[in-house]
A = this chain, B = another copy of it.
Amino acid sequence: MSGARRRPPPGQPTIADVARHAGVAVSTVSYVLSGKRAISEATRARVLAGIRALGYHPHAGARALASRRANVIALVLPLRAGMQVPVVMQFAMAVVTTARRFDHDVLLVTSDEGPAGLRRVAATALVDGVLVMDVELDDPRVPLLRELTRPGVLIGLPADTTGLTCVDLDFHRAGWACVAHLAGLGHRHVALLGAPAAVYDRGTGFAHRTRAGVAESAAAHGVDAVALPCEEGAVAVRRTLTDLLQRHPEVSGLIVQNEAAVGPVLATLPALGRRVPRDVSVVAVCPDRFAEQASPMLTAVPVPAEEIGTRAVALLMGKLDGEAVPEVTLLPPRLTVRDSTAAPAPSAGAGR
């Protein structure tokens, strides 16, 4: 009876099919694919021909099992209130693109599951390494990351970075640079319009670092600085701004670190009788695209989302290859002057 065991209808061709087609051993095909051993040009050609003829693609699961490498990395992003969605998206895209260049794919993990999701993908060997975004100063994922056996890279800076690998824009210096620029133009009273309060409250690093940079720079430059959070939405921005200018009419320089607020701020200022940059100078910390699309075009410190994403992946790949990588990589900010900043009008309330 059943001479042949259940012989499944030939689905995808396997490496064995390729080997047969080329008249070589399975291992030879494998070596052609991986290049880990020398193979004669003739054989290689025959194997490659077979691969093409059969439309062969190695089975990812089998490969992962045998090689103990999934060639997949996890991108963990929390998606919390007040996040700057377009920036995050830019990160994500840069990460995927770069990962592909290293022949890796990207698994998207959110933190609904909390840190558990991170643990799961790492423990099941679904991924080889982990990229964590939107890191808070005291992030619950950080200790977990330390105990994991798989390498990880953070985009953002937690309070304690020992034993970790982090990449980010140097927001401290970014804040500093904004104030320095305004101070250089002659402004003596500036304000930082930051992220929504929730972002500060949960201790998100970049917000705090920028604020600190602004404060220190202001002190160093002999400038008055006030900082206040700013919620999303046209209404909220108008309220915040109105309040600010009422309480501090002398403010002539505004630093905006909140993508969602940039547009409304520029729309609201004229309505409040302040022209940009004539009465109020505005400098933003946001992706370049935003700064260029605004009207007037904004003097800004761009957030190089793309470069940060690329660097993060490169660092992770380094760690996967067992290289030693620096604990903290801080990209230097570079301020681009556009049309939204100028010397304060002498008549303005700023005069000493």
Task: Kindly state the separation between the CA atoms of A65 and B63 in the bound complex, as whole angstroms.
Answer: 9
Residues of B within 8 A of A75 (CB): 108
Contact code string A91-107 (vs B, CB < 8 Å = 1, else 0): 01100110010000111
Residue A322 is within 8 A (CB to CB) of chain B in the complex: no
Interface size band for A:
35 or more
Which chain B residue lies CB-closest to A124? B60
Q: How many copies does the complex hold?
A: 2
Residue A243 is within 8 A (CB to CB) of chain B in the complex: no
Name the residue in A57, A61, A266 with the highest tally of chain B Cβ atoms < 10 Å from its Cβ: A61
Docked-complex contact B12 and A233, CB < 8 angstroms: no
Residues of B within 8 A of A59 (CB): 65, 124-125
From 24 to 57 in chain A, residues with beta carbon under 8 angstroms from any chain B beta carbon are 55, 57
Name the residue in A93, A109, A293 with the highest tally of chain B Cβ atoms < 10 Å from its Cβ: A293
Residues of B within 8 A of A110 (CB): 93, 96-97
Residue A1 is within 8 A (CB to CB) of chain B in the complex: no
Docked-complex contact B65 and A238, CB < 8 angstroms: no
Residues of B within 8 A of A109 (CB): 96, 105
Docked-complex contact A123 and B61, CB < 8 angstroms: no
5 closest residue pairs by CB, A with B:
A61-B64, A233-B293, A267-B267, A57-B123, A234-B295
Residues of B within 8 A of A264 (CB): 263, 267
Docked-complex contact A112 and B88, CB < 8 angstroms: no
Which chain B residue lies CB-closest to A59? B125
Contact code string A218-240 (vs B, CB < 8 Å = 1, else 0): 00000000000000111110100
Residue A3 is within 8 A (CB to CB) of chain B in the complex: no
Docked-complex contact A64 and B60, CB < 8 angstroms: yes
Question: Please, could you name 29 A-B residue pairs with CB atoms under 8 Å apart, sorted by A?
Answer: A11-B149, A55-B123, A57-B120, A60-B61, A60-B124, A60-B125, A61-B61, A61-B62, A61-B64, A61-B65, A61-B70, A61-B126, A65-B65, A72-B126, A88-B89, A89-B89, A96-B109, A100-B113, A100-B117, A106-B107, A106-B108, A233-B292, A233-B294, A233-B295, A234-B294, A234-B295, A235-B295, A263-B263, A264-B267
Task: Kindly state the separation between the CA atoms of A106 and B77 in the bound complex, as whole angstroms.
Answer: 13
Residue A79 is within 8 A (CB to CB) of chain B in the complex: yes
Residue A345 is within 8 A (CB to CB) of chain B in the complex: no
Which chain B residue lies CB-closest to A79? B93
Task: Kindly state the separation between the CA atoms of A120 and B100 in the bound complex, as whole angstroms.
Answer: 12
Residue A58 is within 8 A (CB to CB) of chain B in the complex: yes
Residues of B within 8 A of A97 (CB): 110, 112
Residues of B within 8 A of A113 (CB): 100
Residue A197 is within 8 A (CB to CB) of chain B in the complex: no
Docked-complex contact B105 and A92, CB < 8 angstroms: no
Residues of B within 8 A of A96 (CB): 108-110, 112
Residue A85 is within 8 A (CB to CB) of chain B in the complex: yes
Which chain B residue lies CB-closest to A268? B267
Residue A350 is within 8 A (CB to CB) of chain B in the complex: no
